[in-house]
Chains A and B, each alone.
Chain A
C-alpha cells in the first residue's frame, strides 16, 4: 500500500479546479489493480450493497444465491418470516452449501459431508453427530455465518460487510425521497418481474456508474433508438413536464429528473397504447392523486428519474423501471445484473407494454444498452494510452448556476465521494 500512497501524493485521482471550471479524473483509476484493491476495502467492504428485493423471497423458504461485493451469499426468508443473508460456505470445510440460483426449501444441506442447516442458518443435523463433543456448537460456530449487517428500505434489501457502518436510512440520505417516488407507484407494493439479465463487459465498473445517470450521451449514442421509436407510430408524445435537473442526494448518491417523450406505464400514455392505454393510465393517475395529491401524482407519473445509489445500485424509472447492480471482477471487467420492477397489481396488458418498453431500450438485446456497453469498452481500451493521454473530463456545467441533466454535475457527485473514500483514506 505504501507505493500507492506515494504515487497518490504525486498524482491525484480526482482534480477539481472550481475557479477554472475544470473537473478531471485520472484514467489510472480504471486500470490499476491496486486501486481496485482499495475499492474492495474502502468501498465494497464498507458501503451498503443491494442484494435483492423482498418480492424475490416472498414466501417462507424462498431463497436466492447471489454474488455481492465479491462474496457468495444466500438470501432467504426463514420459517419465522425474517429475511436473512448468509455467507454461502459450510462452517465445516467451506464448500458452497446452496448450489441453486433460486428455489424454495425447508433446509440447506452441504453435499460434501451432509451437514444440514435450517432456514435460520442453525446446524440441525450432521452424520456421526454423536462423535462431536456435546458443547462443540454451543456458541454457534457450526452454524451458517450471517452477513454482519442486513437492512431494507421500501422492499430493497442491502447488506453491509462493515459491522460499524451507519444505518441504512442515514446512508441513503436524500435518495429516500426518490425511492419513495418509485415505490409509491403501487399501494399494494412493487415486485421484481421474473427473469434476470446477467451480462458482463470489458469496462471498469465506475464507467457504468457515470453512464447510468448521463444525460449528455443520449442523442449521439442512442440515435438509432430514437430513429426506431419515431418510426414506430405513436410511441412518442409530449414531455408533460419542464423539469430538467440533477440532484446531489448526499453520500455520493445522485439523481437526474426530467421529462421525456416516451410512454411510462406509471402513468403517461402514448398514442400507440390506444384508448385502453389512456384509460389504464388515467385510472393509475387517479389512484395516485387520491393518495398523494395532484402535484406529487404528476411528479410520479410524468417525470423520469435515473438514480445512482453509491456505489453501484442504479434505479432508472424511465420507459420502464430497471434495477441494476454491477461489480468489478477486474479493473477492466464487470458483471451486471438487471431486473424489471413493476407494480404488483399492474394489469396484464400494462405489464406487457412495460416489458415491451423495457426491451426496446434496455438490456443486452435492447436498442440502446449494447451501444452503451460498446462505448464503455472503447473508453477502457482507450485507457491503454493513459501514460500519455491520462485524464477524463467531467467539467460540463461546472460553473453554471442552474445545472441541467445534460451537464455532468451528477457524475461529479459520484467522483467526489469516490475520491473521499479512496484518496482520503490512509493519506
Chain B
C-alpha cells in the first residue's frame, strides 16, 4: 500500500476534535442559527428521525418515520423554521441540547461513523418537553474540517406522547 493510499484510509480526527464539532453543532441548534447548522452538512446529506423506539437498522423506504429528509427537504425545513408562519415554532421555543458518550465507530477521512447520546429540552408556554436518545452520524473530513453526510436521531422512548411532535431539529 502506498503512503498516500494508507493516508486516505486513515482517520485524522480524534474523539476530542469530534466532540468539539458536535458541541458546536448543538450550540448552533440551541441558538437557532439554522443556516450555519445546515452548512455543516455536505450537499446530498440526509437527516432522519425514525419512529420512537426504532432499531438502528430502520429504513425510511419501508418504514414510516417522523422525519426522512433528503438534502432538498432538509434545506426547506431550515427555511420553514425561519418563518413566522411555521406556527409551532413561532415564537421559537427555547432549547438546550446535552450531548455525551461520543464514540467514533470507525472509518476513514473519506467516511467515518460516530454515535453520541443526547438529551434535548424544548420549552414553550411554560411546558418543557424532554427528548432523549442517540444520534448516529456518517461524517467525513474535508480539507481538515468535519462535515456531516448523514444524521439519524433515534428517540429512545416508547412513544412521543409527552412531547407530541418533532418540530425542532434534534
| Chain A interface (Cβ < 8 Å from any Cβ of B) | 101, 193-202, 221, 223-224, 227-228, 231-232, 335, 339-340, 348, 351-352, 355-356, 358-360, 363-365, 367, 369-371, 373-375, 381
Contacts and interface: CB of A to CB of B under 8 A. Distances in A.
Contact of B165 (A195, A335, A364, A375): A364
A365 B167 CA distance: 6
Nearest to B66: A365
Contacts of A352: 61
Contact of A201 (B50, B73, B77, B165): B165
B127 to A, nearest CB: 8
For A194, A200, A202, A224, which residue has the most chain B Cβ atoms within 10 angstroms?
A: A224
Contacts of A227: 79-80, 83
B52 interface: yes
A374 B164 CA distance: 10
Contact of B164 (A200, A231, A232, A359): A200
Contacts of A381: 125
Closest 4 CB pairs of A and B: A195-B64, A200-B161, A365-B66, A198-B159
B76 A228 contact: yes
25 contacts: A101-B158, A193-B62, A195-B50, A195-B58, A198-B158, A199-B165, A200-B160, A200-B161, A223-B85, A227-B79, A227-B80, A227-B83, A228-B73, A232-B72, A351-B62, A355-B65, A359-B66, A364-B66, A365-B65, A365-B167, A370-B166, A371-B86, A373-B88, A373-B164, A374-B167
A231 B76 contact: yes
Interface string B39-63: 0000000000111101000101111
A60 B76 CA distance: 44
A347 B76 CA distance: 27
Contacts of A231: 76, 79
Contacts of A201: 164-165
B163 interface: yes
Contacts of B85: 223-224
A237 B139 CA distance: 37
B27 interface: no
Contacts of B88: 370-371, 373-374
Contacts of A359: 64-68
Given A195-B54, A224-B86, A339 B64 contact: yes
Contacts of A195: 50-51, 54, 58, 63-65
A224 B77 CA distance: 9
A315 B65 CA distance: 19
Contacts of A355: 60-61, 63-65, 68
Interface in B18-39: none
Interface centre among B61, B87, B166 (most CB of A within 10 A): B87
A235 to B, nearest CB: 10
Given A355-B60, A365-B49, A199 B76 contact: no
Given A198-B160, A232-B76, A193 B165 contact: no
B83 A369 contact: no
A197 B66 contact: yes
A365 B87 contact: no
B20 to A, nearest CB: 28
B162 interface: yes
Interface of B: 49-52, 54, 58, 60-68, 72-73, 76-77, 79-80, 83, 85-88, 125, 127, 158-167
Nearest to B70: A356
Contacts of B54: 195
Contacts of A221: 87
B161 A198 contact: yes
Contacts of B167: 364-365, 370, 374
A65 to B, nearest CB: 12
B62 A356 contact: no
A341 to B, nearest CB: 10
Contacts of B125: 381
A335 B161 contact: yes
Contact of A364 (B63, B68, B77, B164): B164
Contacts of B68: 355-356, 359
A228 B60 CA distance: 20
Contacts of B76: 228, 231-232, 367
Nearest to B169: A365
